[in-house]
Amino acid sequence: MIKTPPYLQPGDVIGIVCPSGAMPVEKTSECVRVLNEEWGFRTKVGKTIGTQFNYFSGTDEERLNDFQQMIDDDEVKAILCARGGYGMTRIIDKISFKKFKKNPKWIIGYSDITVLHSHLYANYYISSLHAPMAAAFNGAGYINRFVQSLRNALEGKKAKYTADPHEFNKKGEAIGELAGGNLSLLAHLVGTDSDSKTRGRILFIEDIGEYLYNIDRMLYQLKRSGKLSKLAGLIVGGFTDMKDTERPFGQTAYEIIRDAVSEYDYPVCFGFPVSHGKENYALKIGVGYKLRVGKSKVMLEE
């Protein structure tokens, strides 16, 4: 049975950190304001917000210490990773989850934070939230249903999401624990201590800014390592800003995915609102969901 962190109450503290890429303070200020003034929580901002060391928000040691401090802080009930980028892989094996295992808290984020989600699910069987991060709150973004889905998830409301039909969908129903995240990271984690099991799970994938041939290569890595053959179902989210080589690959990202899983008989949904774009519903890793892929509608619900 998956261990679910306690849901948040008014006045609870949310820690905000940048454990991977750097992010300016001004791009997080609206998120902090909304969490405090609109949603009724309190915030504790980490030292890695607004700092930079080369590509990262700090040295490996600085990012590790900042994150470690937040997960060990009894007052902090959830940790919102302000952005993804790259860098979690460099510190994941040095994080101590000793205290966290006894008193888990919600870890929130996507993209590079897929490493954290997968690590928690694989090693400790603790649920976390693949969900919008700080920048999504900007420009009144916190009003939209995708950012609001994060609030609903943190407050313990059951999710019930719908998606439009897609010509590549494979109809059917699936029930299983939800696993997944960014395709690049899922492929990157194969064979490591953070590699989560997919057998009998509903897997979701999304990505941004990749070459089409690399999408194909990563799918074959998952396929050859047995990650795609025994799924309960597959959810394909946004594959945005895809790039092509001088000699065209000859297929779109969705066509590549369709062909890679064509031999399997589980339901597949394309175009689900989980992505690097605005359309990014909060999804609880490890929690049981029901996926229904019908002719006129797709539904995913807890």
Does 155 participate in catalysis according to the annotation?
no
Contacts of 54 (CB under 8 A, 6+ apart): none
Catalytic annotation on 111? yes
Pick the closest to residue 291 from 204, 207, 222 (CA basis): 204
Which of 188, 206, 210, 275 is the catalytic position? 206
In angstroms, the CA 240 to CA 255 distance is 14
Q: Evaluate whether 70 touches 100 at the Cβ level (below 8 Å).
A: no
Residue closest to 203 by CA, chosen among 114, 79, 83, 278: 114
Catalytic residue among 20, 57, 111, 128: 111
From start to end of 192-249, where are the E strands? 202-208, 233-240
Distance CA 194, CA 114 (A): 10
* CA distance linking residue 49 with residue 30, whole number of Å: 13
- Catalytic choice (117, 130, 188, 276): 276
Place of tokens 């519903």: 281
Separation CA 53–CA 86 (nearest Å) = 12
Active-site residues, by number, are 111, 206, 276
